[in-house]
Amino acid sequence: MTPIRWGIASTGNISGSMATALAGVDGADIVAVGSRTQDTADAFAAEHSIPNAHGSFTALCADPEIDVIYIGSPHHEHHGMTIEALDAGKHVLCEKAFALNRPEAEEMVAAARRNERFLMEAMWSWFMPGWHEVRNRIEADAIGDIVSIDANFAIPIPDPNGRHRRLDMGGGALLDLGIYPLSISRFLLGEPTDVRALGRLTAGGVDAAVAGSLLHESGAVTTFSTSLDGRSDLTARIVGTVGQIEIHAPFWFPSAFTITVDGESERVETPNRGLAHEAEHTMERIRGGHIESDIQTWNATLTNMELMDEIRRQLGVFYPSETGDGFG
């Protein structure tokens, strides 16, 4: 198996988790890390035993040893960094939320096409064995037709200066947390035909709490909620015409779900190797010469961005780059 050589861009929380996950993936070599400063790059490289450390993203992109760059920066940086990496000839796995909005995401996909390089949104939940097993059971008619899905993701993130509450960094509960309730719904039911959302904004203009509903072509409905204040039970519940499934917390990277039919419950345990599943899929697609995932497709990412754009429009959340050009 040809090793795939990874570069990690940014040294924050999720990049640390990805470095740890990649260390356990067969055929994955982390050959470099890039940070905005040499000191943080050096510290991250030392912590994760990475041979090369670059003090800028541009230097990381210029490293000839790298096949694929994992981008773990805040949302407002994804568009620029992804395009720069693709234009430098690298494949890219870019964290969710993939971009600030659909127009940015379209430019990123165009750059992948132009450079004939692999590009995927790092929506890790779509690669979780537990989500695939739930979908398999539903397709095998375990609970009948889906009537409704209800999913929530609220955790307290109080720091007023952190990226989650900064409008200029693509903050807000929706892009960070609410994207997961939307994901389980879209994973099981496809793209919705209609959406309604209400929410409360912070003084700085990001969404602190959101509740909404989706309508699907089949007639199924989804209710979702998300917040940066308080903690919800972090489960997803699927109601079918003859039974129910509860995906246990944390529903976006689950290790178990329970199916109940006629009062009889079955608890199903599923493998969970965290970020390794999406990394393995990325490597498989690159080895196969593909530039797009067949699971987290570009179309899925673009329609998801469009859905979140519409929810933010209903809430009145507009990022600085969106005002003045007809978006806000």
Where along the sequence are the contacts to ligand NAP (CB under 6 A)?
Answer: 10-14, 35-36, 40, 72-75, 77, 95-97, 124, 163, 176
Token pair recorded at residue 50: 């990475």
| Cβ-count burial 52-73 (b if 16+ within 10 Å, e if not) | bbbbebebbbebeebbbbbbbb
* Closest distance to ligand NAP from the beta carbon of 233 (Å): 18
Measured CA to CA, the distance from residue 235 to residue 110 in angstroms comes to: 36
By C-alpha distance, which of 314, 302, 125 is closest to 211? 314
Nearer to ligand NAP, 36 or 313 (CB): 36
Q: Mapping DSSP to helix (H, G, I), strand (E, B) and coil, where does residue 124 land? A: helix
Cβ closer to ligand NAP: 36 or 132? 36
The CB-of-73 to ligand NAP minimum distance in angstroms stands at 4
Q: Which is nearer to ligand NAP, 95 or 322 (CB)?
A: 95
Taking the least distance from each CB to ligand NAP, the nearer of 126 and 257 is 126
Nearest position to ligand NAP, beta carbon: 12
Gap between the Cα atoms of 197 and 214, Å rounded: 9
For CA atoms 44, 50, 52, 56, the dihedral sign is negative
Q: What is the 3-state secondary structure (H, E, C) of 135-180?
A: HHHHHCCCCCCEEEEEEEEECCCCCCCCHHHCHHHCCCHHHHHHHH
Compute the least distance from the CB of residue 238 to ligand NAP, in Å. 22
Those residues with Cβ within 8 angstroms of residue 29's Cβ, 6 or more apart along the chain or in another chain = 3, 4, 5, 6
Q: Which residues contact 190 (CB under 8 A, 6 or more apart)?
A: 216, 217
**Cβ closer to ligand NAP: 11 or 282?**
11
User: Which is closer to ligand NAP, CB of 7 or CB of 72?
Assistant: 72
Q: Name the minimum Å distance from CB 102 to ligand NAP.
A: 16
Closest to 195 (Cα-Cα) out of 297, 97, 315: 315
Placement of tokens 């079918």 in the chain: 240
Taking the complex as a whole, how short is the minimal distance between the CB of residue 75 and ligand NAP, in angstroms? 5
- Structure token digits, residue 141: 């008619």
Name the minimum Å distance from CB 209 to ligand NAP: 18
Q: What are phi and psi of 253, to 5 degrees?
A: -145, 70
Closest CB to ligand NAP among 186 and 216? 186
Cβ closest to ligand NAP, residue 153 vs residue 298: 153
* Cα 319 to Cα 157: distance, rounded to the nearest angstrom: 20
Least gap, CB of 10 to ligand NAP (angstroms): 3
> What minimum distance in Å lies between the beta carbon of 56 and ligand NAP?
9
